[in-house]
Amino acid sequence: MTALEVRDLHKSYGELDALRGVSFSVAAGEVFGLLGPNGAGKTTTVEILEGYRKRDGGEASVLGEDPGTAGAAWRERIGVVLQASDLPPTLTVREVHEMFAGYYAQPRNVAEVIDLVGLGEKSEARVKTLSGGQKRRLDLGVALVGDPELLFLDEPTTGFDPSARRAAWDVVRSLRELGKTILLTTHYLDEAQQLADRVAVIRDGRIVRQGSPAELIAGTPKVQIRYREDGRDVVVETDEPTRVLAELTGTAAAAGRELEGLEVVRPSLEDVYLDLVENGAPAP
Ligand code: ATP
C-alpha cells in the first residue's frame, strides 16, 4: 500500500524554481530518507506534503488525500517534527505532552511517549531548562502523542550528541516496528544508511537518484584496496576488486611478503552522495 506519492511536483518562489518535477512514492511502513545539500528543495517538498505550503504544479497524495485540501481528520493521522519549534517555555515536559494530547481524539499514553523519547527523568522539568538535544526529543514526543500513521521528521537529530543520536535511531526503529511510515530529511548520511529503507537524493529541485542505500552503493563500481608498502600508504581504486586483490595478494604471497594493513573498503552512502551532488553524476 502506498502511504505517500508525489508526481512531477513544481514550486517556484518568484524567479527561483525550487522544485522542478519531483516524483517519488513511499510505501506504508517504510522509512524514506530525503537527502540533498542546503537549498536543494527538501523542506519545500516536505512542507507541501504536510499541507503547509502550496504547490504550483504536479500531484500529491498523502494517506490517500491531497495535502493541499485535506482537513482536520487527515491532520490527526500525521505527525510533524519541524526543524525548529516554539513550545511554551514555562510548561513542563509532561504538561506540553498533555496539552498536545488534548488535541487528539485518541492520544497515546503521555508517560509512555515521554519514556519512548528518553525524557522520563525530565518529565517535570520546564521546557526552558532543557538542553538543545532534549528540546528536539520533546519535539519528537509531541509529534508522537497523536499516535500518527505517518511521521515527518525534518533533520530530527541535528545537535544531538552521539549517544542521543543512537537513542533517537532506536526510537525511529521502534516506530518502524510499530508499522509507522516515516519521511526523514537528514544531512547525516550514516543516519540515512542506518535508518532508511530507501532514499532519494535531491539536487537543484530534482531527484538525481533513488533506491535503497545498498542499491545506491552497489551502483558505484569503485572499491578501494588499501595497504602499506615500504612505509607508504597505497590506495588502489578499482571496479574489479576480486581480480586486483588476487593479483596483489598473489604477488605478495609468492615473494613471501605480508601486505601490511590490507583492507578492502566499500564506499559508504556518504561517498556515493558526495559524488552525486559534487560531481553532478547524471540521473540514471
Ligand atoms: P536545507 O538543507 O538548507 O534545509 P532544503 O533542501 O530544505 O535546504 P528548501 O528550504 O526547500 O531547501 O529551499 C529550496 C530553495 O527555495 C532555496 O533556494 C531557498 O532559498 C528557497 N526558498 C525556500 N523557502 C522560500 C521562501 N519562503 N521564499 C523564497 N525562497 C524560498
* Cell 515521554, residue located: 114
Q: Is 13 in the pocket of ligand 1 (CB under 6 A)?
A: yes
Residues 2-212: name the CATH superfamily: P-loop containing nucleotide triphosphate hydrolases (3.40.50.300)
Q: Which of 158, 212, 135 lies closest to 38, judged by CA?
A: 158
DSSP β-bridge partners for residue 34: 185, 200
HEC profile for the chain? CEEEEEEEEEEEECCEEEEEEEEEEEECCCEEEEECCCCCCHHHHHHHHHCCCCCCEEEEEECCECCCCCCHHHHCCEEEECCCCCCCCCCEHHHHHHHHHCCCCCCCCHHHHHHHCCCHHHCCCEHHHCCHHHHHHHHHHHHHCCCCCEEEEECCCCCCCHHHHHHHHHHHHHHHHCCCEEEEECCCHHHHHHHCCEEEEEECCEEEEEECHHHHHHCCCCEEEEEEECCEEEEEEECCHHHHHHHHHHHHHHCCCCCEEEEEECCCHHHHHHHHHHCCCCCC
CA distances, 59 to each of 5, 23, 56, 80, 134 (Å): 8, 9, 10, 21, 37
DSSP β-bridge partners for residue 150: 78, 181
Task: Please count the other Cβ atoms lying within 10 Å of the Cβ belonging to residue 2.
Answer: 14
Give the pLDDT confidence score for residue 281 in this predicted structure: 55
Give the pLDDT confidence score for residue 284 in this predicted structure: 47
Kindly give the number of the ligand 1 atom that is closest to the alpha carbon of 83: 4
Q: Is 146 in the pocket of ligand 1 (CB under 6 A)?
A: no
Mutate to test the pocket of ligand 1, among 16, 22, 45, 46 (most ligand atoms within 8 A of CB): 16
Kindly give the number of the ligand 1 atom that is closest to the alpha carbon of 43: 7
Cα-Cα-Cα-Cα torsion 89, 92, 98, 101, nearest 10 degrees, comes to 50
pLDDT means over runs of 10, the chain (284 residues): 95 95 96 94 94 95 96 90 81 95 90 91 95 86 92 86 86 90 92 94 93 84 85 88 91 90 86 80 50
Q: Is 210 in the pocket of ligand 1 (CB under 6 A)?
A: no
- Domains of the chain: which residue ranges? 2-212, 221-266
What are the grid coordinates assigned to 272, written together? 556515493
Ligand 1 center to residue 86 CA distance, Å? 20
pTM over 0.75: yes
Q: Is 186 in the pocket of ligand 1 (CB under 6 A)?
A: no
Mutate to test the pocket of ligand 1, among 13, 34, 81, 83 (most ligand atoms within 8 A of CB): 13
Q: Is 97 in the pocket of ligand 1 (CB under 6 A)?
A: no
DSSP β-bridge partners for residue 78: 150
Q: Is 43 in the pocket of ligand 1 (CB under 6 A)?
A: yes
Give the pLDDT confidence score for residue 121 in this predicted structure: 95
Ligand 1 center to residue 280 CA distance, Å? 20
HSE at residue 115, side-chain half, CA atoms within 13 A, is 5
Give the pLDDT confidence score for residue 9 in this predicted structure: 97
